[in-house]
Amino acid sequence: MAEFFHSVTLKEDKCVGCTNCVKRCPTEAIRIRNGKAFIASERCIDCGECIRICPHHAKRARYTHMEDLGKFKYNIALPAPSLYGQFNNLDDIDYVLTGLKKMGFDQVYEVSRAAELVSEATRKLMYNPETGMSLPRPVISSACPAVVRLIRVRFPDLCDHVLPLKSPMETAAGMAKREAVERTGLPERDIGCFFITPCPAKVTDIQMPLGIDRSKVDGAIAISEVFPTLSHTMDRLESIEPIANSGIIGVGWSTSGGESAALLNEKYLAADGIENVIRVLEEVEDERIGELDFIELNACAGGCVGGVLCVENPYVAKARIQRLRKYLPVSQNHLAGGPVPTDMEWEGELEFSNVMTLSADLSEAMRMMVEIDNIEEELPGLDCGACGAPTCRAFAEDVVKGACRKTDCVFVYRKQMQKVASTLSELEGGLGWHPGGINNDGKEERE
Ligand code: SF4
Ligand code: SF4
């Protein structure tokens, strides 16, 4: 496996180096080099903001395609609940699920079923009267992989606040494969599980999961890829199979606030949109937010319905999900009594990734920091982006790391040119030179 896998990639021929994405990236992962955007792999969290903002469609998401179903003998679709918000006037989820089967999947397993179990497991882990154990407060949801990656690279002190439970997608894949092995008698390797995804962060999470060694999900197909065929198929269905088996709690995970509402606890906060998420995390880190038990954070505005691979406006999708909830029971999936099943928990801890630090050697890092401060003082502080970095501070860092030269800043360059010009004119004055030239005889001519 490559050191880094990213769903979000650059289509270089479309990039005009406009710097829109550079200024928007939450981890300062993008620079302009030779007139084109360049993504620093180790910093990218696959949030999709640059896809959203690029006016030239130069940023793309890589994901699995329907043809990949051919790799397995038996295929299961794992629809994210945000898929339901893409269809107008939907009052029965079974239309969507039957449509997916007609498109070529052998089985459909709703991710919202697993979400209901994850909600129950979260309640158990947070308040365990049997063991008296509880998680460090506030507990931060681990459902949005872009947020978990953001914490991992920018908020080291918050890593142990992240809920150590597998996501509903991962839990659903485990349960769906178990059921399919029993039903078909096939070995697990012949069964493919495909998440129908609203965002690129999930694609990356399957390839390079955090908290677990290996994902049970075999691919993620964008909602935008299945939508045209699926809606066409749904329009022509002659009969509907009763497949749906989840309720308000599970489907509610698709919009911001749904996960925390399911905890039946009032001491929670739900924030969405990457800038709001960063603001909340900064406040938690500075201990300016107290007395909260749970924090739900979604990198996309509106929650998963706002993912860049969705087709509908997130607020329209949210309104549709709210309407759909009217037809649903509260919850249809429950854990057996006793502790949280171990296969729902993370296999390891979330470890801070040191990608933002200057050097592993502390004294060298301090020296670099001083140098950055000095260079920053020489810069205009306009954060104009003309140098290809998002801020003057980030540019100073790049200079100290040797990634660019100070004169790549147009203001520094102009100052240096002015200095050279005035030195030259001083020299001219000192040597008694005068404006003029050499005549055809080789003699100096004066004005
Ligand atoms: S937004 Fe970024 S990727 Fe898109 S054209 Fe501008 S610099 Fe290139
Ligand atoms: S996906 Fe997000 S983190 Fe990665 S380069 Fe784009 S904006 Fe930055």
- Decide if pLDDT at 28 tops 80: yes
The pLDDT assigned to 1 comes to 43
**Residue 89 burial class via C-beta count within 10 angstroms: exposed 0-12, middle 13-18, buried 19 and up:** exposed
Mutation test residue for ligand 2: of 5, 49, 51, the one with most atoms within 8 Å of CB: 49
- Which amino acid, residue 300? C
Counting ligand 2 atoms within 8 A of each CB, the residue from 32, 44, 149 with the most, and so the one to mutate, is 44
Predicted pLDDT of residue 446:
46
Please tell me the predicted confidence (pLDDT) of residue 130.
66
Q: Whose CA is nearest to atom 8 of ligand 1?
A: 15
319-to-168, 225, 252, 326, 443 alpha-carbon distances in Å: 22, 22, 11, 12, 87
Query: pLDDT of 145-168, one tens digit each?
Result: 999 999 999 999 999 999 999 999
Confidence of residue 354 (pLDDT cuts 50, 70, 90): confident
Phi-psi region of 443 (alpha: psi -120 to 50; beta: other; left: phi over 0): beta
Q: Domain ranges for the chain, please list them.
A: 8-61, 66-344, 362-430
Backbone angles phi, psi at 30, to 5 degrees: -110, 140
Instruction: Kindly state the percentage of the chain with pLDDT values over 70.
Output: 94
The alpha carbon of 173 and the centre of ligand 2 are apart by a number of angstroms equal to 27
- The average pLDDT across 301-314 equals 97
Most confident of 30-39, 120-129, 358-367, 420-429: 30-39
In terms of Cα–Cα distance, which of 72, 78, 67, 56 is closest to 12? 56
The model's pLDDT over 216-234, given as tens digits with 9 standing for 90+, comes to: 999 999 999 999 999 999 9
Q: What is the mean pLDDT of the chain?
A: 92
Radius of gyration of the chain from Cα atoms?
27
CA distance 418 to 441: 34
Range 362-430 classified under CATH 1.10.15.40: yes
The pLDDT of residue 442: 45
Which DSSP string do the residues of 359-376 spell out, in sequence order? Answer: -SSHHHHHHHHHHHHHHH
pLDDT band per the 50, 70, 90 thresholds, residue 96: very high
At the topology level of CATH, where does 8-61 sit?
Answer: Alpha-Beta Plaits (3.30.70)
Mean pLDDT of 246-250: 96
Amino acid 323: pLDDT = 94
| H helix or E strand, kind and range, residue 102 | helix 93-102
Distance 368 CA to ligand 2 centre (A): 26
Mutate-to-test residue for ligand 2 from 19, 28, 30, 32, highest number of ligand atoms within 8 A of CB: 30
CA distance 33 to 47: 22
Q: Could you give the CA distance from residue 172 to residue 22 in angstroms, rounded to a whole number?
A: 36
Token pair belonging to 111: 């991710």
- In this structure, the residue with its CA closest to atom 2 of ligand 1 is 21
pLDDT at 408 over 90: yes
Q: What is the mean pLDDT of residues 338-358?
A: 89
Which of 42-51, 226-235, 438-447 comes out lowest in average pLDDT? 438-447
Looking at per-residue pLDDT, the higher value among 3 and 212 belongs to: 212
pLDDT exceeds 90 at position 132: no
- pLDDT 10s digits, 65-85: 999 999 999 999 999 999 999
**145 closest CA partner among 224, 83, 85, 212:** 212
Tell me how far the alpha carbon of residue 40 lies from the centroid of ligand 1, in angstroms. Answer: 14
Percentage, residues of the chain above pLDDT 90: 82
Mean pLDDT of 374-394: 95
Tokens representing 119? 């909600």
